[in-house]
Structure 1
Amino acid sequence: MKIVIAGAGSIGCYCGSLLAAAGHGVTLLGRARVLEPIRTQGLTVTDFSGLHHRAGAGLLNLSEDPACLDGADLIIVTVKSVATAEMAALIAIHAPLGTAVLSLQNGMENARTLRTALPDRDVRAGMVPFNVVPTDVATYHRATSGEIVIEHGPGELARHLTTPEFPVTESDRIEAVQWGKLVINLNNALNALSGLTLQNQLLDRNWRRLMADQMAEALRVLKAAGIEVASTTPLPAWMTPHILRLPTPLFSRIAARMLTIDPSARTSMAYDLLAGRPTEIESLQGEIIKLGHEHAIKTPINSRISQLIQQVPRTPLTVDQITP
């Protein structure tokens, strides 16, 4: 397939490298600051299980020009939520009507935004359960586990994309899957505020209790809204807050797969906050706060965390400083 990765950031570069290794013709559409190092030294991706793959510059097409969207069989959108509408407009201008569009973005609104702007195209939502972080120039590291899930549709798209190193499955309950991911991703902001690695945060019972309280608050809102939540972890969504509150030795045994992460891993929002980049707080806590207002359910924890992230704290915060 001819695939354009629309938004060559951490997730886009990771996915693009492995899709190119599988034989697809991959173009990375992105900014010069990301593409220039790849152009000179290739693209390296690694993961927590020992994967180490380098795609030479000749294996990938690199472009800052959205005209590269012309001729694509598939466009995988990986831009931040704030840039989705702009990317949708570029796809409408440059890409043929027969081109499929797949959103591999956080939040619930991105696929809807793409569908609204591209009403005559095969637009599908997707869910990426793992995080990818830059570790060196033109080097991206997958730090957590999980498999990509995409919306079911014609053409067996998941089968065409799947490789042993890049498994993809399809679901006819993609919104429930996305909501499950969103509930888990509420911890992105907590991790960013904590200054801790994900592993150290999960091994601290005080942080886990705050994670559990935030998750329980979100689940109450989603239940009131009649929204189905499909778990993206080995545990049912409703059980996860209870497991998080357990004493650490018991939690570590029961939730061993939740701890299958690189010891140095932090969330993407933590890196965005450190770099002074816009965060996706409105696509995460913002969704819960909005639904809470609509259904008269108070959301003090999510509201407090959203407020703190938008203040861009200069130093890590403690649990007591965050708890409303």
Structure 2
Amino acid sequence: MIGIDSRIVIAGAGSIGCYAGGRLAVAGKAVTLLVRPRMIEGLRQEGLRIIDPDGSDKLVEPEQFSLTSDPKIAFGQADIILVTVKSGATEEMAKSIRENAPSDVIVVSLQNGVGNAETLRQHLQPEATVISGMVPFNVVQSEPGVSPLNVRQTIPGTILIDDTLRGLAEVLSVSGLSVQAHPDMQGILWGKLLINLNNALNALSNLPLVNQLADRDWRLLIADQMGEGLKVVGAHGITPAKVQGAPPAVLPWILRLPNVLFRIAAARMLAINPHARSSMWEDLSRGRATEIDYLQGVIIRLAHEKNIAVPLTRKVLACVKQAEGKPLRSHSVEEIRG
């Protein structure tokens, strides 16, 4: 039963998970963060600082939320579970939820990629309700050792979820965390995937997003990669929906504009935190595995099915694979184009 007192669990309390959980906790929701053991002591002693795009911040006191690294404790009494793990960990998380949560639990995927909800459905109890969701903004986490842990939302945006469960968006929408129901979540997820193709390029550039977008050579690279993606999804009859701003089909045209015209046409796109970078940059900088297989990898697999050449997408995936687990360095546009 969905209600204002629903017990909410954040399954994967990384950057997005901590931000969403923090906002819900501040609003008085019953929130449990399922976290790695190494995070518990710091969060229990110092709490969590959540920061808005405009720089205003709020300290979430330790007593405002529950913490555990034990899935049995986290999921045992859960009404709603927000899954925020990387796409590669979805199946494992689904199995943990199945083993420990009530059979009729509501599970919301707030992850990158287009197949996470289906993966959850395949591995959860038949009675569970799985909802697709999309987070349109990135959240940057403070460097290790900073106390309390800071999570900063880099741009404004409204989280979208499936409209199949009435009242869920209203329960999850609180001050600082806007959530709305949407009738075409698959279209939204495909639109987000095309935008997220730049996650890899931003990581390889080692530049803040605003600096990367200010450079026309990088924008042309982004546009060319997105063009490959649009061609592939179009060949499969997929219609990506607008996430924020311009529709996906128009974005390559905007990105190719000369600098003067781009600054006018993309003023909203450039109104982001000057330090904002992609989540994949954070993954590479911290030596973590990336989600490249669930972004560029999806385009490459679909291209293969239709015998469509996507040389740039393949090169970007190869560059990221080579960069994983190594010290972060700046790649040039010329190096990526090969």
Q: TM-score range by the shorter chain?
A: over 0.9
Cα separation, 2, equivalents of 1:30 and 1:301: 37
- 2:165 is paired with a residue whose SS is coil
Measure how far apart 1:114 and its partner are.
0.1
In the other structure, the counterpart of 1:63 is: 68
- The one-letter amino acid of 1:23's match is G
- 1:75 Cα deviation (Å)? 0.3
Partners of 1:291 and 1:207 lie apart in 2 by: 25
Q: Does 1:265 align with 2:276?
A: yes
Task: Map 1:1-324 to 2 at 5 A.
Answer: 1-67=6-72, 68-118=74-124, 119-135=126-142, 136-137=146-147, 138-312=149-323, 314=327, 315-324=329-338
Q: For structure 2, list consecutive stretches of 5 or more residues without a partner in the other structure.
A: 1-5
Q: Kindly indicate whether the alpha-carbon contact (under 8 Å) linking 2:188 and 2:240 is maintained by their aligned counterparts in 1.
A: yes
Report the CA distance between 1:143 and its aligned residue: 1.0
Measured against aligned partners, the alpha-carbon deviations of 1:24-57 in whole angstroms (never above 9, x if no partner) come to 1000001022332111101101022233111100
Shift of 1:149: 0.4
1:307, CA displacement in angstroms?
A: 0.4
Which sections of structure 1, spanning at least 5 residues, go unmatched? none
User: How far did residue 127 of structure 1 move?
Assistant: 0.3
Alignment partners' CA distance in 2, 1:9 and 1:165? 18
Q: Assess if the C-alpha contact under 8 Å between 2:108 and 2:131 holds in 1.
A: yes
Q: Answer whether contact 1:222 1:228 (CA < 8 A) is retained.
A: yes
| SS of equivalent to 1:186 | helix
Q: Per-residue displacement from partner, 1:31-90 (whole Å, max 9, x unpaired)?
A: 022332111101101022233111100111000000120111100001111111111011
Q: In the TM superposition, what whole-angstrom CA distance separates every residue of 1:294-324 from its partner, at most 9, and x where no partner exists?
A: 1111111111000000001642110000014
TM-score, normalisation: structure 2: 0.94
Given residue 131 of structure 1, which amino acid in structure 2 is its aligned partner? N
- The 3-state SS of whatever aligns with 1:264 is coil
Equivalent residues of 2:50, 2:151 under 8 A apart: yes
Corresponding residue of 2:3? none
The code of the aligned residue for 1:323 comes to: R
**Which consecutive segments of 4 or more residues in structure 1 shift more than 4 A?**
none
Q: What's the secondary structure of 1:163's corresponding residue?
A: coil
Q: CA RMSD, aligned part only? A: 1.1
Query: Equivalent residue of 2:107, what SS?
Result: strand
CA shift at 1:260, angstroms? Answer: 2.0
For these two proteins, the number of residue pairs brought into alignment is 324
Deviation at 1:21, TM superposition (A): 1.2
Shift of 1:98: 2.1
Work out whether residues 150 and 174 of structure 1, in 8 Å CA contact, stay in contact via their aligned partners in 2. Answer: yes
